Amino acid sequence: MAVSTLLATFLCIIVLPVLLFLVAVRLWEVYMLRGRDPGCPSPLPPGSMGLPFLGETLQLLLQRRKFLRMKRQKYGYIYRTHLFGSPTVRVTGADNVRQILLGEHRLVAAQWPASVRAILGSDTLSGVHGALHRSKKKAIMRAFSREALELYVPVIQEEVQAAVQQWLTRDPCVLVYPEMKRLMFRIAMRLLLGFQPEQIQTDEQRLVDSFEEMIKNLFSLPIDVPFSGLYRGLRARNFIHSKIEENIQKKVQASGRQSQHRDALQQLIDSSQASGEPFSMQALKESATELLFGGHETTASTATSLVMFLGLNPPKERGMDLQRLNLEYLEQLKYTGCVIKETLRINPPVPGGFRVALKTFDLNGFQIPKGWNVIYSICDTHDVADIFPNKEEFQPQRFMTSPSDSSRFQYIPFGGGSRMCVGKEFAKVLLKIFLVEVVTKCHWTLLNGPPTMKTGPTVYPVDNLPTKFTRYSHS
């Protein structure tokens, strides 16, 4: 009697919950796959949908690139999963990515996960479509014209020189990644949003901390309850918006005065006023926040990777003393450009891009159902690109020869198609100036050796890359 009671207890406490859980997972899988279009003969991509409601979001957030590599090895270049509240197909490889990037408005449309849309807003360049996207892009592109970039050079050089000088006087080490975020944040605030240095100084620490909190919670479960990632991200976003609104009001009040430099935010204000449409403070705040994210988070990631790779592979030659840089001089630095390209190949700051299927379509023999999210992978596509021999090695010279048109989608650090990063030329100029200044001024040593890299949402070193900088003496 006692044995049968124990057995019944064991079945109720252990076995039954496990069986119910397995049944729930199976029902979830069946429920999620109901979106398959019976009119399309192609099968769904292989893969799994993970846990009920959570999908595989937690595994991705915890394991990042390890999770993606494991999935690719198990399922191939196209597989299904469930991320950030939506059924998702992840796509790797130049031919597959080409179809996604060139299928904008026809097969797919840009769409961030729900948590990103909630935090960044719906009026961002990446969130709008059609004529509105074209007009916003046109306005912002004026802030990245050659004439504008030429005006940005001395400001970038001034900020980089001040940062490098601090690193050289700091002992015993510099945590490179936080320093890069602070440096690139200041540059983006000045050049993209038109903040004055004294404005930044007043709220710099709180702005940096708030932006860090917002970025950390961009990709989270779309649940807005106290203490959730989305809740914390929205609170941080609200503080950033309050400071941006103050700056917008100053710009609007001074709109009659002409200045030599029209930053990206000013271009959006001018475009809004010229259109004759009602002035939307919320739309401008959202666009400014997106500019700040795109203009500093990705460059901070790449600048950190530059310090890491050149710390592990010290440059054999040092440049000469520099006075004032200009675009013409920067364009002549071919090898410097190759160093940046190679860094972006191995450590693209953004691992991929988000789309949503506008209709059911076939991708290399698999059905992509209407309404499912599609993520094209930048990092995995670089990993499998056959145009790069010895992929694990840092070899900038591989970019000294121009790639053929057939290899176009094997290297996509800035995305591609009509949604290619609008600030890519700004990023290249900024990174070249940074590289020139740091290489001509410093030697440096990575105190922990090669770091472990993670993604969240951009690529960064887990140990923040502690580094010792010493002044370079010109002989």
Give burial (CB, 10 Å; 0-12/13-18/19+) of 220: buried
The answer to whether position 10 is within a domain reads no
Tokens read off for 367: 């059905």
In the block, tokens 């948590």 appear at 115
What pLDDT is recorded for position 27? 55
- 433 pLDDT higher than 90: yes
Q: What residue ranges in 123-280 does DSSP mark as E strands?
A: 174-175
Question: Residue 446 falls within a domain, yes or no?
Answer: yes
* pLDDT tens-place string over residues 379-394: 999 999 999 999 999 9
The one-letter amino acid code at 314 reads P
The answer to whether 21 and 51 have CB atoms below 8 angstroms apart is: no
Q: Is residue 56 part of a domain?
A: yes
Counted residue by residue, the chain has a size of 475
- Residue 140 belongs to some domain of the structure: yes
Distance CA 79, CA 91 (A): 7
**Is 20 in a helix, a strand, or coil?**
helix
pLDDT for residue 138: 85
Is the preceding peptide bond at 172 cis, omega within 30 degrees of 0?
yes
| Residue 275 or 258, more confident | 275
Name, of 216-225, 321-330, 363-372, the range with top average pLDDT.
363-372
Flag the least confident range among 71-85, 137-151, 192-206.
192-206
- Residue 30, domain member (yes or no): no
The residue ranking higher by pLDDT, 462 or 15, is 462
Residue 172 located in a structural domain: yes
Spatial separation of the C-alpha atoms in residues 349 and 379, rounded to whole Å:
9
> Does the structure show a pLDDT above 80 at 60?
yes
Of 277 and 362, the structure prediction assigns the larger pLDDT to 362
Question: pLDDT for 17-56, tens place per residue?
Answer: 665 555 555 555 555 566 667 778 899 999 999 888 788 9
What integer pLDDT is reported at residue 388 of this predicted model?
92
Per residue in 363-417, pLDDT (tens digit) is 999 999 999 999 999 999 999 999 999 999 999 999 998 766 667 899 999 998 8
pLDDT at 279 exceeding the cut of 90: no
Give dist(CA 143, CA 25) in Å, integer: 50
pLDDT tens digits along 242-267: 999 988 888 888 766 655 567 888 88
Answer yes or no: is pLDDT of 317 > 70.
no
**Is the confidence at residue 311, as pLDDT, over 90?**
yes
**335 domain residue, yes or no:** yes
**Model confidence, pTM:** 0.86
Residue 53 placed within a domain: yes
Residue 80's H or E segment, with its range, is strand 78-83
CA atoms within 13 A on the CB side of 124: 22
Torsional sign, CA 390, 394, 399, 404: positive
Confirm whether residue 421 is marked as ligand binding. Answer: yes
The number of folded domains in the chain is 1
- pLDDT score of 312 more than 60: yes
What is the extent of the structural domain holding 125? 36-471
Q: Tell me the CATH number at 321.
A: 1.10.630.10
* Predicted pLDDT of residue 126: 82
User: What's the pLDDT band for 162 if we cut at 50, 70, 90?
Assistant: very high
Burial label, 131 (beta-carbon count in 10 A; 0-12, 13-18, 19+) = exposed
Which region, left, alpha or beta, applies to residue 7 given φ > 0 means left and ψ of -120 to 50 means alpha? alpha
